[in-house]
Chain A
Amino acid sequence: MTYVIEGKKDSWQVVLGLEVHAQISSKSKLFSVASTNWGSDPNTQVELVDCGMPGALPVINEYCVDQAVLTGLSLNAEIKKMSIFDRKNYFYPDLPQGYQISQFEHPIVGKGHINIEIEGKVKKIGITRLHLEQDAGKSLHDQDIKNSYIDLNRSGCALMEIVSEPDLSSPIEAAEYVKKLRSILRYIGSCDGNMEKGNLRADVNVSVKREGEKLGTRCEIKNVNSIKFIQQAIEFEAKRQVNIIENGEKIIQETRLFDPNKCETRSMRSKEESHDYRYFPDPDLPPLIISDEKVNLLKEKLPELPDEKKNRFMREFNLSSYDAEVIVNDQGTAHFFEKLVKGRDPKVVTNWITGEVFSHLKKINKDIKNSGITPEKIGSLIDLIVDEKISNRQAKEVFEEYMKSMDDATTFIEKKGLVQLSDQSEIYKIIDKVLSDNPKMVDDYKNGKDKLFGFFIGQVMKISKGKANPKLVNELLVKRLKE
């Protein structure tokens, strides 16, 4: 389904391109040995380069180069044998050198692509390039009426800027693209994908056009730091542009900021002033040469990526495309699934993961990897159901409590006295009691009121306090009523 904005006069399409900034999960910064730890006191993780001291010189972190190459490989992209670092010149208080070391004409990674899935359809999104650059420091504007405060702890941290082709055409596509990218980055470990900490953030280029028209003038929304905000920002900005054009005015190419509180974008005057960045090759850094040997070594390190894993899960475990997508999206979940599914029914395992386990994780606000939940813990519970020791319903009812306990499933069930009642004669006793207590209903049932079957089941379960094996109750009740 195409995303269309209905203006007063025409229907409009949106054209979107994303520049995603991903902070590399390295111990030290791109060109300095300062730590990248998050949340330290201001200006405590600052080396000479990071605060632009006279005579300071950059020295590149090999780990960051490797992560850029790995990421390039996982984006099906061309790794450039030679790339060059440039200086991007502009004045800003959190840019201590007066320039950002970035890559302009010769990035480390060239063209590639990733696939996203929208309503079961696969769409290929082109990657224009990936380059390495320094992050800026942080300016705090709300500490003081007259002043801004500058913290350079983030200054010089390694960023990968991943630029997409303008292949995205709806907010949901943009969201799926970022989700997929984040999933890939997490799989290979090059970025933790944490958008709240700003470790992953996107600049969104938005333009609108009528069908069949050429690309319109675009606006760039800077630094959007959640997937929800990306969608909201696009929706607002596209409508804003449609209104402007339909009123006979022109879009001015500019940088805008998304305000999540007002859910709108507004012009960033300060960044507008001059866009002459005067890029030139940084004379402090020789060209970066990537050997074939390095690329081959890194290729071997590349894990199975989400798409490959998804295909394998569909093939090996007969999962639906939707289930497989949900499970492989997070690498931890995929690992968990693979351990849990060993010797168990994939369908049951999938239902438990996407059902109870996911809602539990949401409650405790953790991902599966650091939740403390083990496949053994969930597995032993599933096994009890399959072995008909407890019912599925029972298991779901006690799930939260079970997650809190330290016991394995068997011990837990025993302590709770939850063992399923599967003794035929015991069940017959309960059935007989229910039938003799309700003679009228038995008559009605026999006269064709089939619905009452459910009532008898419910009564049996109630009397057994939910312990009776539902399958058995069903069987025996049918037998008795036929008698």
Chain B
Amino acid sequence: MNDFENLSISSAIEGLANKNFTSLELTEFFIKKIEKHNDLNCFITSTFDKAIEMAKISDQKIKENETRPLEGIPIGMKDLFCTNGVRTTAGSKILENFVPFYESTVSNNLWNSGAIMLGKTNMDEFAMGSANTTSFFGNVKNPLGSKVNKELVPGGSSGGSASAVSSGLCLGSTGSDTGGSIRQPASFCGLVGLKPTYGRCSRFGMIAFASSLDQAGPITKTVEDSALMLQAMVSFDKRDSTSSRQSIPDFSDYKKLSIKGKRIGIPKEYMIDGLNSDIKKIWDSGISWFKSEGAEILEISLPHTKSALPTYYIIAPAEASANLARYDGIRYGFRHNADDLNDLYEKTRGLGFGKEVKRRLMIGTYVLSAGYYDAYYLKALKVRKLISQDFEDSFKKCDLILTPTTPNVAFPIGEKQTNPIEMYLNDVLTVPASLAGLPAISVPSGFNSEKLPIGLQLIGKPFDEISVLGAGAVIEELRGF
């Protein structure tokens, strides 16, 4: 049997087209691999029968020359996307047995492009976490931990998706990013993670964490794969009132992009205290790669960067406190029976949600409650405006912004558990772009002394995913591995 472990989506498409192997062979390979690597805990639910069925259809389509863009490509689907007839949990006990009777737009688009579902990937409960340690179904391990003989976190919240791609259990996977949940795990697992512009991917059928921030995107091995998957995922969706009507480009056009003469901004505020020195070094290397390609490097200022994380930790929990009110044990999901309705509510939600979710629901409820709304929530909305304005001003001077993705590399499971804020600080470099709704990519750019991967982040103008992908490809080309 072929070893498909290091295969990219683009080379798999080529191999399938050239009849080097079939989709069924590919699919069966990954099924075996997933079974073998149960210890990583990447999947909450596997859908192997469905995968084989889909692979057979793909092989037929290939035979009949009716190949769709992702024909026969086995992927993982973050368990945040509702899948018709397949259990969807959002990593929570409260949805442990929930089986949707409808399909999210993003997953539907992928199946319509010929992609194959291997299973639903593990994640932080309701996407709240940065280490995939809050899942009701147990934490996910980062496969790269074996390099350093430690159990490392894969990052979060799309930890199962990242770990699965990194360990070669699937060719690519979907993630969702609210404050860094695609980019941070991609960086921790040595992968490309792309959060598109807010509004590019429909949120219909994607279980909501913070509606004004949530955005789906791909986690893949290469920039090219990201472009391929993104193309399949995006669409204007009339079932989502925040779905953009902007025209959808051919994302593979990033290949035509010349970085020469592009202005790359380096925000001085991202040089935060506690930024790992190896990461700083890689950031410098990144700057030099772009210089060597003829880009113009300029220092920029995003003065409200420091306020981004506190702003995020008001807005996201506030929205979540309403988004998660529907989990009440009445129409679906976990119910703790009681004779009194309020008891039923309180016990169901007290037992059905994990610690981190409850913490955020408490914060969110508090900042919206009478007497605190103006001081917290309204204030945060205003600061969000300032943060967004910072980017708008900067993009008058530059075309792209280059920063590290995370202040640190993947850390051991169990670390940063005592103080929630310590965990929150993981997202300090990814959250600003989320608040501004901008497209951003994390691309593996180097390693620390222990050979753990380090990602650099490129942030683009609204709806300019092409430049973000194009600049990402420059890093891929020049990073030297």
Which residues does A use to contact B, with CB under 8 Å? Answer: 48, 51-60, 87, 89, 91, 93, 96-99, 146, 148, 150, 276, 278-280, 283-286
Contact = CB atoms under 8 A, between A and B. Distances in A.
- Size category of the B interface is 35 or more
A280 B249 CA distance: 35
A55 B326 contact: no
B241 A280 contact: no
A78 B102 CA distance: 41
B322 A98 contact: yes
A89 B210 CA distance: 16
B4 interface: no
B375 interface: no
B225 to A, nearest CB: 26
Nearest to A285: B241
B369 A55 contact: no
A441 B203 CA distance: 98
Contacts of A91: 325, 328, 345
A239 B341 CA distance: 34
Contact of A57 (B81, B95, B241): B241
Given A98-B328, A278-B369, 7 more contacts: A55-B81, A55-B102, A59-B239, A89-B368, A98-B322, A99-B322, A284-B208
Contacts of A279: 368
B54 interface: no
Contacts of B203: 55, 57
Contacts of B36: none
A96 B341 CA distance: 14
Interface string B345-370: 10000000000000000000100111
A54 B126 CA distance: 11
A288 B32 CA distance: 52
Interface of B: 81-82, 88, 90, 95, 98, 100, 102, 104, 203-208, 210-212, 238-242, 318-319, 321-322, 324-326, 328, 330-332, 339, 341, 345, 365, 368-370, 373, 377
Contacts of A60: 241
A148 B341 CA distance: 10
A285 B208 CA distance: 14
Contact of B326 (A54, A148, A150, A283): A54
Contact of B325 (A53, A99, A146, A280): A99
A93 B325 contact: no
Given A57-B240, A276-B369, A278-B368, A48 B102 contact: yes
A123 to B, nearest CB: 36
Nearest to A280: B368
A92 to B, nearest CB: 9
A89 B205 contact: no
Given A52-B326, A54-B326, A59 B241 contact: yes
Nearest to A281: B381
Contacts of A55: 81-82, 100, 102, 104, 203-208
Nearest to B126: A54
Considering the complex of A and B, which 10 residue pairs feature the smallest CB-CB distances, nearest first?
Answer: A98-B325, A283-B212, A278-B368, A283-B211, A52-B326, A55-B205, A54-B207, A55-B82, A98-B326, A87-B322
A284 B325 contact: no
B241 A58 contact: yes
A240 B338 CA distance: 37
Nearest to A87: B322
Contacts of A48: 102
Contacts of A284: 208, 211, 241-242
